Structure 1
Amino acid sequence: MSRSTIEGATDKVSPKCGDVGVYMPGKTIKAASNRPEVGQEQLGRSNHWEVRPQEQAYAYLPDPGNKSEIENRYGKRIDLVELTDNPVGRSLFINGNPEVGTNPDRNKQHGFFFTADNCIGCHACESACSEKNDNPAHLAFRSVGYVEGGTYPDHKRMNISMACNHCDDPVCLKGCPTRAYTKHAEYGAVLQDPETCFGCGYCTWVCPYNAPQLDPVEGRVSKCNMCVDRLEVGLKPACVSACLGNALDFGVIENTPENREQCKTTIPGFPSPEITQPNIRFQQTKSLPEEMTRTDDMPVKYCKGSDGQYRPKVDQKVGKKIYWNLPKLNSRENPLVLFTLLVQAALGTFIIPFSGALFGVETFKLFMASNLFLPLVLLSLGMTSLGLFMSVTHLGRPFRFYRGFNNLRYSPMSREGFGLALFSAFLGLTALLLAPSNLWVNTMLTSLGLDLTLLTSTLPLENGVVITGLLASASGLAGLYYMNQCYQIKARPFWNHWQTATSFVGNSLSLGAMVSCMVMLLSTAVEPLPLMRAVQAFGFIFTAGLVIEAVGLIGHNRTFNRSEDEGGAAHYIQCTSFGKTYLLRNVLLAVNILAASGLLLAGFLEVSESPASQSIANEPLYLIAWASVSLINLITAMIGRALFYNLVIPTTMPGAFFWKNKGFEQHARDIGLADNPATGVAPLAH
């Protein structure tokens, strides 16, 4: 069967759901009818799930008849059968069974319906889901959180049961670099293959509903699969069938279940449906207080607006007192801190002197023609390789890193990795073309009896260096662009700001100028180069990078000081829990800008007074001052990047007081409670 197009998600639909690899093994027996009174006598139905002999009526999928709409409220088709090339005779191959399902609605978009008024918070849906999928205690595809508000005696709590919403625009599918996700025409399910996944966790960043679950023990992601094997025999998903309060229902989307009067797309605590266009509908008719708070440690609450909609607002749970919290900057994202800083420094180290030479800057032209340019290229290559290695160590399955290029069509992470891999490759080619004309390389090879004179005299190596250098620069800049795009995530407003780009570009300039200048200073010990001109040129670029980063931080601060969403909540944590660390970073950055500007001005004035000598009276002291500024910049960059990764608060669903509560998880680790697997707190294995 050929693959088919699903609008708004991907261009391909897997022909076999069994290929996805997320279904529990089932027994091949005669399945029960989707009508309770028939029992096990119906023949000809697909045998994918063992139906109990006396299955209750509420466990079966409803028959929408002719009530099903053509399009949902987002303008996407509900009936997906027209998008397939061969709807007749198709097989799902669920659990290896080739029989074709007879459900007449299997090619229509299905979804969950949650009635908040009915949910009693018993967690039966969680238990049924985990039992069916054999999940460990620290993993749950469906979870129940809650928000509460009011005061005694009118205190109210609203429970929210949430799993994957099998969205019309699944950002997990587009973000996954390994193409582990597929949007199927059958039931509209978004399925994920844990065996394809290499555990980067990017899908857990982009999903606003905390649906994909990264297992730190197994080093891979898995998620709700809509129980499509149960759907094939007419049964609702396990979580729906287990619901005690009739709060969960399931069927063709936009069909309001029986005895329901609402079909809303949002509820207090639910992120904006515009991010992914989720296939879940809500009913909530009971009155709620004007303000609803979360019981987990996330500093967000929800306030009712004049239009009756609840919107997020910063909840100042930790007060206004500021702390250092330096130990908390150490996290599982440390490899990404090093990866981004190393790669950005490598880009600047190579591109700054190379582009300067191409634009005719005399200092850079002399440096590029010197024997020290080859070591600089090799240093850039080494930094990039080390950075890429650090990014691989962040993966749950690092030996499957090569799968990161599978989704170049959609994933910015795939494009980032591909651009940086090309940057490394072209740097390597540049180094190979530079080697024959390098004096030190020739001396070493001559001692081994090899002579490269003929090679350098017959081949246009200089032109080759320019070509490979340009290709390296272009691919490196593309990698930097997509590195920024990786963090432009609607589900993480704290990152989804232009300050991310200014931080990356600013660090590339400041760190790159710092490393390049250091190499050029070393070159003066073996080759005569205009030292002070080089220091001034690199100093100007260094200062420009600091200013660019500072402008972005000022804009970021202004935006989220006024913001009341999760981005504002992250900024609140930045100014309180990490307030002293944040202040230290800002002070160091300001001091660096002033010091670098002062050094530039002093150097310019001295050199302009004696243009013939192009020297400064106290060169050692001048260079020590620049070295001190560079060291401070390195510390500032490390602190800033650690804050970047540790502070972000996603637009995720509310947790409970214990379950899905990061604060409780950390407390459980601190006191040793996490050592008991039944606590449900994952070990920090990865």
Structure 2
Amino acid sequence: MRSPVIEPEKPQTSALDVGVFTPDISAKTSIPEVGQEQVGRSNHWEVRSEEQAYAYLPETPSEVENRYGKRIDLVELTDNPVGRSLFINGNPEVGSNPDRNKQHGFFFTADNCIGCHACESACSEKNDNPAHLAFRSVGYVEGGSYPDYKRMNISMACNHCDDPVCLKGCPTRAYTKHAEYGAVLQDPDTCFGCGYCTWVCPYNAPQLDPVKGQVSKCNMCVDRLEVGLKPACVSACVGNALDFGVIENTPENRQQCKTSIPGFPSPEITQPNIRFQQTKSLPEEMTRTDDMPVKYHKDENGEYLPVVDQKVGKQRHWNLSKLNSRENPLVLFTLLAQGALGTFMIPFIGALAGIEMFTQFTESNFFLPLVILSIGMTSLGLFMSVTHLGKPFRFYRGFNNLRYSPMSREGLGLALFSAFMGLTALFLVPSNEWVMSILQGAGVDSLMLNTHFPWASVVEVSGVLASVSGATGLYYMNQCYQIKARPFWHHWQTASSFVGNSLSIGAMVSGVLVLIFFNAESLPNQVALEILGAIFLLGLVLEALGLKAHNHTLNRSENEGGAAHYVQCTTFGKTYLLRNALLGFNILAASGLLIYANVFTVNEPLYLAAWIGISLMNIVTALIGRALFYNLVIPTTMPGAFFWKNKGFEQHARDVGLADNPACGVAPLSH
């Protein structure tokens, strides 16, 4: 079954603003004089006569399908296969490359790469990238022992995948996969800097610029392809390690066309359009020189698989200061949104289920303040998520990709949750004695004062819609983190944590107003405390079960998820144990209070004070747990070098002030 090429609804000129380099249009076999009319090539570019023969794309027959079963010739998958312009740099003319509608890709010969970084330089020069940004980067893995010590360099950029997860994940629809060359192109002007594409890409291709607050990436040099030239990085390669052409065409003088080499994440995640040759023998184990606690071990089939590299030993540390990160707004956003869902839905659904105490509460004057409190929590959470964006004033673009992006669907679900809660609050006004007395005292005379209208039924409908929207938002919040490129998150523990926090925080917050209501009405509150306490305990137990399963899985994992767990048990070992101890104590204390209340006569002030203490401790536990969630994740990125593309070095450069020098290539964390 064919996978459709996703077409843009309109030309995005800024997405194809591919630099100031003006490519040559001369023939491949001979270089004409400047100004000579070209035969068989587009002539809308200024002629350059200095291009060498190796810079031109070969014209060779292509396969019908690639090894993933996808069509290589994409002409049948577009509505306008002939003569559609890419609007490169605003130019409406069309290139005449005969392979224009075929899927192209890079070919990397690891045996030839000498690590000179000429490809990086050519790419950055053409795209006018700052020092801290690189669309193509060269890392390496090494292994063996003297004198037989070997290094393998890896040059990597965007692989213009058949299944581009960046495109599907981007909430703003800044990405487009074109039928022309199969290029996955991104529009930085449409991007609002959430960085979600950098999370889902296994190859670190999209680059988030913390200075500009936007993402950009390799554009396949489509301006050069239009006139038959290879990308700038390929033309600049001095070791003949990089090549480019129609995918599955093995370049001349090459004997392999593999889909993976040591250090390259599983191609099954995105089906990338890159092929490799690596024939020289390598040691059984290859290590990374960056701070990633991952190395690669050869299995019985000769494939190199990731294993945990215990680079920092096994000693446990606190590192509480490192919990403070760029993801702090997301820590608050997720906890506030999940808490708001529980705060509203626990009493509302409890009333729908016929539980008497919740029915009494939702029919009282206190239900309106609870709804308003839930709206406030959700609004504050959404505001925090907006502050996380590189371009926060463009937050409205987050709904552009409802067809694919879980982030767009999450945002829509929470926005509808807030909207329907707002309607619920509005419909509660006529039945709220406090508000009505204020309105009547102010001389307000409106239809809302009509107490004969069935407001309770309307409130029930709007509340159900709010609950469905909120549950949908929570579901897609979980889906946002089910990322194959981040195995530490790609586990059902993420869902159990989110639902568990909704129950525990929701029971805690709603319990405050429920208990105030019971005390105001001089009603016994022990039953309310027991029911809310049971819901609170259920949330804690659900979270603990997920953590136990997560720990069990990662202890037996040798991928990046296992590496993240290793960091969790060492770099943050004491903090991790503290969170687990607090969670365990909360479960035991909550269980003990519930059992005690059913066996003995309780002292209500002391009983209530104990629940308050457990609730406050749960807030600390949730904050630590969520901060660890964001700080520990290790993605399936490509290997870096000792300095370049090394998170450890970047942090060191910031700590000692080296990052203040722009030439260092480490950007300040301004977004």
TM-score tier, shorter chain, comes to over 0.9
Instruction: Give 1:55's aligned residue.
Output: 51
- 1:11 is displaced (CA, Å) by 4.0
The residue identity in structure 1 corresponding to 2:174 is A
Instruction: Give 2:587's aligned residue.
Output: 593
> Once superposed, what is the RMSD of the aligned Cα atoms?
1.6
Equivalent position to 1:273, from 258, 267, 278 = 267
Equivalents in 2 of 1:293, 1:71: separation in Å? 35
Equivalent position to 2:15, from 6, 17, 20 = 20
The residue identity in structure 2 corresponding to 1:12 is E
The question of 1:172 aligning with 2:166 is answered yes
The question of 1:372 aligning with 2:366 is answered yes
Equivalent position to 2:403, from 392, 400, 409 = 409
Question: Kindly tell me: are residues 453 and 15 of structure 1, through their superposed partners in 2, closer, same or farther at Cα, counting changes over 3 Å?
Answer: closer
CA contact (8 A) 2:519 2:525 kept: no
For structure 1, list consecutive stretches of 5 or more residues without a partner in the other structure: 1-5, 607-615
Equivalents in 1 of 2:377, 2:255: separation in Å? 60
Question: Kindly tell me: are residues 91 and 35 of structure 1, through their superposed partners in 2, closer, same or farther at Cα, counting changes over 3 Å?
Answer: farther
- 1:14 is displaced (CA, Å) by 5.5
Comparing 435-444 with 334-343, which one deviates more in the overlay?
Answer: 435-444
Equivalent position to 1:639, from 624, 629, 652 = 624
- 1:13 is displaced (CA, Å) by 4.0
The question of 1:500 aligning with 2:485 is answered no
Question: Kindly tell me: are residues 132 and 367 of structure 1, through their superposed partners in 2, closer, same or farther at Cα, counting changes over 3 Å?
Answer: same
Question: Kindly tell me: are residues 491 and 231 of structure 1, through their superposed partners in 2, closer, same or farther at Cα, counting changes over 3 Å?
Answer: same
CA contact (8 A) 2:37 2:43 kept: no
Cα distance per residue 1:594-647 (max 9 Å; x no partner):
0000001111223xxxxxxxxx54100000000011011110000000000000
Instruction: Give 2:633's aligned residue.
Output: 648
The residue identity in structure 1 corresponding to 2:42 is S
Question: Kindly tell me: are residues 680 and 32 of structure 1, through their superposed partners in 2, closer, same or farther at Cα, counting changes over 3 Å?
Answer: same
CA contact (8 A) 1:30 1:43 kept: no
Equivalents in 1 of 2:624, 2:14: separation in Å? 44
CA contact (8 A) 2:7 2:179 kept: no
The residue identity in structure 1 corresponding to 2:387 is T
Please report the TM-score for the alignment, with normalisation by the length of structure 2: 0.97
- 1:238 is displaced (CA, Å) by 0.3
Question: Kindly tell me: are residues 174 and 93 of structure 1, through their superposed partners in 2, closer, same or farther at Cα, counting changes over 3 Å?
Answer: same
Match runs of 1:78-117 below 5 Å: 78-117=72-111
Equivalents in 2 of 1:505, 1:572: separation in Å? 26
For structure 2, list consecutive stretches of 5 or more residues without a partner in the other structure: none
Instruction: Give 1:216's aligned residue.
Output: 210
Cα distance per residue 1:257-292 (max 9 Å; x no partner):
000000000000000000000000000000000000
Equivalents in 2 of 1:48, 1:667: separation in Å? 49
CA contact (8 A) 2:31 2:49 kept: no
Equivalents in 2 of 1:84, 1:572: separation in Å? 47
Comparing 182-191 with 525-534, which one deviates more in the overlay?
Answer: 525-534
Cα distance per residue 1:86-130 (max 9 Å; x no partner):
322322221222222111100000000000000000000000000
CA contact (8 A) 1:347 1:380 kept: yes
CA contact (8 A) 2:16 2:86 kept: no
Q: How many residue pairs align between the two structures?
A: 669
Instruction: Give 1:612's aligned residue.
Output: none
Equivalents in 2 of 1:519, 1:464: separation in Å? 23
The question of 1:353 aligning with 2:338 is answered no
Instruction: Give 2:568's aligned residue.
Output: 574
The question of 1:251 aligning with 2:245 is answered yes
Equivalents in 2 of 1:461, 1:42: separation in Å? 78
* SS at structure 1 position matched to 2:234: helix
Equivalents in 1 of 2:190, 2:447: separation in Å? 50
Instruction: Give 1:396's aligned residue.
Output: 390
- 1:199 is displaced (CA, Å) by 0.2
CA contact (8 A) 1:219 1:395 kept: yes
Equivalents in 1 of 2:53, 2:16: separation in Å? 29
CA contact (8 A) 1:240 1:248 kept: yes
* SS at structure 2 position matched to 1:250: strand
Equivalents in 2 of 1:173, 1:252: separation in Å? 22
Instruction: Give 2:149's aligned residue.
Output: 155
* SS at structure 2 position matched to 1:632: helix
* SS at structure 2 position matched to 1:457: coil
Equivalents in 2 of 1:323, 1:282: separation in Å? 41
Comparing 267-276 with 48-57, which one deviates more in the overlay?
Answer: 48-57
CA contact (8 A) 2:7 2:78 kept: no
Equivalents in 2 of 1:467, 1:683: separation in Å? 49
Comparing 10-19 with 361-370, which one deviates more in the overlay?
Answer: 10-19
Cα distance per residue 1:460-502 (max 9 Å; x no partner):
1000000000000000000000000000000000000000000
Equivalent position to 1:669, from 625, 633, 654 = 654
The question of 1:471 aligning with 2:462 is answered no
Equivalents in 1 of 2:4, 2:385: separation in Å? 27
- 1:10 is displaced (CA, Å) by 5.4
Equivalents in 2 of 1:599, 1:371: separation in Å? 29
Question: Kindly tell me: are residues 428 and 664 of structure 1, through their superposed partners in 2, closer, same or farther at Cα, counting changes over 3 Å?
Answer: same
* SS at structure 2 position matched to 1:644: helix
Instruction: Give 1:202's aligned residue.
Output: 196
- 1:385 is displaced (CA, Å) by 0.3
Instruction: Give 1:264's aligned residue.
Output: 258
Question: Kindly tell me: are residues 200 and 454 of structure 1, through their superposed partners in 2, closer, same or farther at Cα, counting changes over 3 Å?
Answer: closer
The residue identity in structure 2 corresponding to 1:653 is M
CA contact (8 A) 1:36 1:54 kept: no
The question of 1:561 aligning with 2:541 is answered no
The question of 1:143 aligning with 2:137 is answered yes
